[in-house]
Amino acid sequence: MIIPDPTEISRSRAERLADQYIDENTCMECGKNVDYELLCPSPIGEGPAICIECLGFDPFAEPQ
């Protein structure tokens, strides 16, 4: 089994989402407008701006 290169995955995702940019407060994955700074999951820092929910974090989860 071949393990995909994370930078290639990130680059293809960024290319797919590049034309979906609206503004600095709108998630490029789900389109939700948020009141915090969006995050870039790319290891090289050139990926899309995504909200924490799309990255898999639950902002209302109880700390463990």
For the chain, the first-to-last Cα distance in angstroms comes to 34
Read off the pLDDT of each residue in 8-19 and give the average, rounded to a whole number.
Answer: 66
Taking the C-alpha atoms of residue 46 and residue 24, their distance in angstroms, rounded to an integer, is 14
Residue 13's pLDDT is 65
Residue 19's pLDDT is 65
Rg (CA), the chain: 13
Residue 11's pLDDT is 66
Taking the C-alpha atoms of residue 17 and residue 6, their distance in angstroms, rounded to an integer, is 16
Q: Which residue has the higher pLDDT, 41 or 16?
A: 41
For the cut 80, the answer to whether the pLDDT of residue 64 exceeds it is no
Taking the C-alpha atoms of residue 54 and residue 10, their distance in angstroms, rounded to an integer, is 14
Q: What is the tens place of the pLDDT at every residue in 19-54?
A: 666 778 888 888 899 998 888 877 776 667 888 888
